[in-house]
Structure 1
Amino acid sequence: MTVEVDVSPGMPAFNLVGLPDQAVSESRERVRAALRNSGLPFPISRITVNLAPADLRKEGPLFDLPLALGLLVAQGLVPQNALDEYLVAGELALDGSLRAVPGMINMALLARSQNRKVLLPSLNAAEAALIEGLEVYAPNTLLEALNHLKGTHPLAPSPRPEREDLESTLLCLSDIKGQTQAKRTLEIAIAGGHNLLMIGSPGSGKTMLSRRATSLLPLLTDEEALEVTRIHSAAGQLGARGLITRPPFRAPHHTVSDAGLIGGGSIPKPGEVSLAHHGILFLDEFPEFNRKSLETLRQPLEDGIVQISRARASVTYPARFQLVAAMNPCPCGWAGDSEKPCTCTPAERSRYVSRISGPLLDRIDLVVTVPRLTIEELNRAPEGEKSTAVRERINRARTLMHSRQGQRNAVLVGQKLREVTQLKPDAAAFLMAVSQQLSLTARGYDRLLRVARTIADLAGSEDLQQVHVAEAVAYRPKALEVV
């Protein structure tokens, strides 16, 4: 987008055109106050500012700094061609200081493609400086930006930020005692990128397990890290962080709106599913989410993208996330518990479970029951494996997947899936019998194959054996009978 400023003789006026939203329209007062409080003149003339292209809706305060600099250029306080080699953005405070604005890493990528430099608030320097080969200049105030462009006090380019070491902040899987089957299921899910649903009474450890899943995920590659960082920057959630190197973990509350979960709005923005790209979307109290919101998950779970169409814009956001969900077995939470009796009627349990539709459940690869342990069982249980040991197995399995097919097992489809899941006769016969007994859909059958392939990869087995298929079957809808 381009900011054009014209200052001409006539009755004093400040006209802003080019479909500005409320925040952009209010920039007139911010710019006026920032100039005066910085000791700079504000032209008492007819001012016309055009935001091009004129037919695209403009939003946010990022136009403040270019607008102010445009006025200074029009008054001859900044050389006419000083901004030719820059892309500029930033919000102005009334005292002339600069505030951060979202989406600066995307502007930095545009600047590099145009062989230009960027001028933006110092709070945005870390994200823009991530782009290699780009000169980033980050003033703290409007006066600093002015002096840099005039050449009286030039700024030094912002250095590229170092990668953060977040290993010490991760929660360890060994904190959870017992729950051997649940931990095994979580390991399979993370290794293959499979969607997981955990069912258990309150206090059984479902949320603890989910929040430790990030400690099992390998670091993002450079390409993935940049992609995730761009999404968080566009959503205005990057802050002063640099490159996001850890897979994101998003846990929205069950009252989240459709637009908050999937993305959207009158001017589309990324939702939770896109913010969880290359990471985990954790939905606690799964049936408590709005039914319509849950149904909107079906397309991104299958395709890995979110398409949002509005009257003025149509955008596509990446959403290749891994779903981890948790739920109670019934409204009161105690169905199947060994100590506390359930107070729900069969009809109440049925209504509770029916909030999750069959098509959505068909997109979940693994279902596991997480039983509540007694205090005595917790005291007797030995300390489990550290996250680092489990992550090493997951890394070996993922390395095997990528060397064989170039992607995780969860996204295998069609002929590629058939090629890597060749079954021996006994395993094929077993799978056929199970498919008929469970009345699996074609999608469910493929998902069962993918899970079995992941189990084989964790075991380091090239062949898909009956024992791998049998374990995969144990995590299919059979576990839902508890509900």
Structure 2
Amino acid sequence: MGLDPIRPGEISLAHRGVLFLDEMAEFSKKTLEMLRQPIETGKVTISRVRSTVTYPASFLLIGAMNLCPCGYLGSKSHYCSCTSKQITSYQNRISGPIRDRFDISLSLQSIPIEKNTELVRESSDEIRKRVILARERQYERYGSEICNGRISYETLMKTNNFSEKIKHMIKQMTLKKKWSNRVQIKIIRIVRTISDLKGEQQLSEETLWESMSLSRTQDEQLIKRRNKG
């Protein structure tokens, strides 16, 4: 009896696309940890007894999850019934290394329909044009069709003018937040990308603060307050 051929799974099928994990904390730790290799290398290797196959797996990973098992932590209209221990256990389903690999972490709140219609938003076409221009700036900067998220760290630092003040601000925030090297590099990539989207050649302090705000700081503070209570 022949062995079944190794076929590409969801990670490989998401190559050059988006891999969306809804209710991310409900996935097993083993499944989530398997994402570490493709996120870093853009490839996934599957090993069997008699063969090993490597598939391309360069994708945009998007994950969504609640802050607690009941889903009401931070809600303005419902009461969270979870204990501090349950909340911590639920949050720990996503390991630190996996969290570090997310460039942006946001806490979203529900918005009433009537208020949502009043918000000023760019159209999808306008956003698309800005993204195209930002990518063209990056292609020109690096001399090939590669973006800030994939360029090597050495090339990123060599081709971008990071002022001493910007470097000092990142260093100070790193000491305060105890960021890993991966998080620091992530912040630098985000700063450069936001600047490209704005059409700015120089990196500003305002853009740096904006990039550092795109983190899970609000969630962490909310959970800490709940744990103290």
Do both proteins adopt the same fold according to a TM-score greater than 0.5, normalized to the shorter chain?
yes
Higher strand share: 1
Note the C-alpha offset of 1:414.
2.9
Runs of 4+ in 1 over 4 A off after TM superposition: none
CA distance in 1, matches of 2:42, 2:109: 32
Q: Is the 8 A contact 2:107 2:216 kept in 1?
A: no
Note the C-alpha offset of 1:267.
2.4
Higher helix share: 2
SS of the equivalent of 2:149 reads helix
Note the C-alpha offset of 1:421.
3.5
Selected match of 1:326 from 56, 64, 84: 64
Match of 2:130 in 1: 393
Match of 2:226 in 1: none
Match of 1:426 in 2: 165
SS of the equivalent of 2:45 reads strand
CA distance in 2, matches of 1:455, 1:282: 23
1:312 aligns with 2:50: yes
Normalising to structure 1: TM-score of the pair?
0.44
Which protein has greater RCO, CA pairs closer than 8 Å, 6+ apart?
A: 2
1:335 aligns with 2:73: yes
Match of 1:442 in 2: 181
1:362 aligns with 2:81: no
Aligned residues: 220
CA distance in 2, matches of 1:320, 1:350: 31
Percent identical: 35
CA distance in 1, matches of 2:160, 2:88: 36
CA distance in 2, matches of 1:478, 1:383: 25
Match of 1:463 in 2: 202
Match of 1:402 in 2: 139
Note the C-alpha offset of 1:479.
3.8
Change (3 A) 1:446 1:341: same
Q: Is the 8 A contact 2:25 2:93 kept in 1?
A: yes
Q: Deviations over 1:176-211 (max 9, x none)?
A: xxxxxxxxxxxxxxxxxxxxxxxxxxxxxxxxxxxx
CA distance in 2, matches of 1:458, 1:385: 13
Larger radius of gyration: 1
Amino acid at match of 2:127: V
CA distance in 2, matches of 1:384, 1:459: 16
**How do residues 258-277 of structure 1 correspond to structure 2 at under 5 angstroms?**
266-277=4-15
**How do residues 12-161 of structure 1 correspond to structure 2 at under 5 angstroms?**
21=2
Normalising to structure 2: TM-score of the pair?
0.90
User: Gapped runs of 5+ residues in structure 2?
Assistant: 224-229
Note the C-alpha offset of 1:383.
6.2
Q: Is the 8 A contact 2:133 2:197 kept in 1?
A: yes
Q: Deviations over 1:411-451 (max 9, x none)?
A: 12231121134311222221111111111111111111001
RMSD: 1.7
Match of 1:381 in 2: 118
User: Gapped runs of 5+ residues in structure 1?
Assistant: 1-19, 22-56, 58-265
Q: Is the 8 A contact 2:106 2:216 kept in 1?
A: no
**How do residues 180-195 of structure 1 correspond to structure 2 at under 5 angstroms?**
none
Match of 1:137 in 2: none
Selected match of 1:415 from 154, 163, 171: 154
Change (3 A) 1:346 1:318: same
Selected match of 2:87 from 335, 349, 369: 349
